[in-house]
Amino acid sequence: MIIKALPAVREFIQPGAAVLASGAFDPLHYGHILPLIVAVAPDDYVKRRHPLLQPLEGRMEMLDALRGVDFVVPQGSESLTKAIKEICPVYLIKGTDWKAHGLPKDEVEAIKEVGATISWVDVSPISSSELLHAAFWRFADEWVGRT
């Protein structure tokens, strides 16, 4: 979507909820259009955080439908190390929640090995897992007699 007047961007994007890239783009070349690859965590990882709502394939299909996402790949394991080494990204985007408790050592080593830069993105103060638990799962346990 092309927005012809800068102030109009606020109709679509909330402050603090976007990534801004700037350049002349004249001429446009491949370096300007680095693909966005999204690695999706496996079902087992999700199940340890909360009951699984959508299997991996469904989560991947929805992410693939998002504008701006070029490729969606299964992460393969809880660790992102294999994906980092295979993809060799220029940038790795992580939420600041990971910064607070630290990335796993093997992931940090892989990031250094491929020469990627970590870009930290502020996240909601409440995780989606916490929201699910607060709004649904604690009652679901009662409904099925698990409490």
6-35 pLDDT, tens digit each = 788 788 877 666 656 656 666 666 566 677
Grouping H, G, I as helix, E, B as strand and the rest as coil, residue 92 is strand
Query: Is it the case that residue 38 has pLDDT exceeding 60?
Result: yes
- Per residue in 52-74, pLDDT (tens digit) is 888 999 999 998 998 888 889 99
The helix or strand, by DSSP H or E, that contains position 95, with its residue range, turns out to be strand 91-95
Q: Give the lowest-confidence range in 46-60, 78-92, 127-141.
A: 127-141
The encoded tokens of residue 133 equal: 């638990």
Cβ atoms of 88 and 110 within 8 Å: the answer is no
Composition of the chain by helix, strand, coil, percent to 5 = 45, 10, 45
Listed in sequence order, the residues at least 6 apart from 71 whose beta carbon sits closer than 8 Å to its beta carbon are 35, 36, 37, 38
User: Distance (Å, rounded) from C-alpha 12 to C-alpha 132?
Assistant: 26
- Give me the sign of the Cα torsion angle 68, 53, 85, 105: positive
Say how many CA atoms lie within 13 Å of 58 toward its Cβ: 5
**Total-model pTM:** 0.72
pLDDT band at 95 (very low <50, low <70, confident <90, very high): confident
